[in-house]
């Protein structure tokens, strides 16, 4: 897994915020400010819904000018669109359907039950110099991300 101080790899992935499906590039986000990258396992899974909706509900993102947030899983962009619409997700959900980006970030998992390769739950904060300023990944399926360190990291960058 990438660690704090590592250089974040660029990626371009298809995704949606519930409207149109298009391509999203990390490079474009970092031109505006830092990025929060949250990996999650599946759309519509109760634990993952809680994870993505918790990010959606964070009011402090409104006060962090220029911060871009994306969430990545191996589900399709079409699944993401339905998920975003159902849960009013207003940030891009990106489709890493081949697992390449998840693997590059060191968070690709062998899967769960009958699912193939999936993204492990993980959160990264990347600054505009492409440096990973915060990195966390779940050790097991029940681990939930604590978003308070994400907030502290972003505040320290302001």
CATH number of residue 39's parent domain: 3.40.30.10
Selected catalytic residue, list 48, 52, 72, 94: 48
**Quick one: DSSP state of residue 10?**
P
Asked about 48 being catalytic, the answer comes back as yes
**Quick one: DSSP state of residue 22?**
E
| Mean pLDDT, all residues of the chain | 87
Domain that holds residue 51: 12-143
| pLDDT (mean) for 127-138 | 97
Within-domain flag for 72: yes
Domain count, the chain: 1
Within-domain flag for 109: yes
Query: Per-residue pLDDT tens for 38-91?
Result: 998 877 655 545 666 567 666 655 557 789 989 999 999 998 899 889 888 888
Whose CA is closest to 61, among 134, 149, 154? Answer: 154
Torsion angle in degrees (nearest 10) through CA of 14, 131, 125, 75: 20
In angstroms, the CA 156 to CA 158 distance is 6
């Amino acid at each position: 897994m990438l660690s704090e101080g590592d250089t974040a790899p660029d990626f371009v992935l298809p995704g949606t915020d519930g409207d149109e499906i298009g391509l999203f590039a990390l490079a474009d986000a970092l031109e505006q400010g830092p990025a929060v990258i949250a990996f999650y396992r599946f759309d519509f899974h109760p634990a993952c819904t809680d994870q993505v909706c918790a990010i959606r509900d964070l009011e402090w993102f409104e006060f962090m000018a220029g911060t871009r947030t994306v969430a990545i899983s191996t589900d399709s962009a079409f699944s993401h669109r339905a998920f975003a619409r159902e849960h009013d997700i207003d940030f891009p959900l990106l489709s890493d359907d081949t697992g390449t980006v998840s693997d590059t970030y060191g968070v690709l998992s062998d899967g769960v039950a009958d699912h193939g390769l999936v993204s492990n739950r993980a959160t990264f904060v990347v600054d505009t110099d492409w440096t990973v300023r915060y990195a966390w990944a779940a050790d097991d399926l029940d681990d939930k991300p604590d978003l308070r360190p994400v907030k502290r990291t972003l505040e320290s960058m302001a």
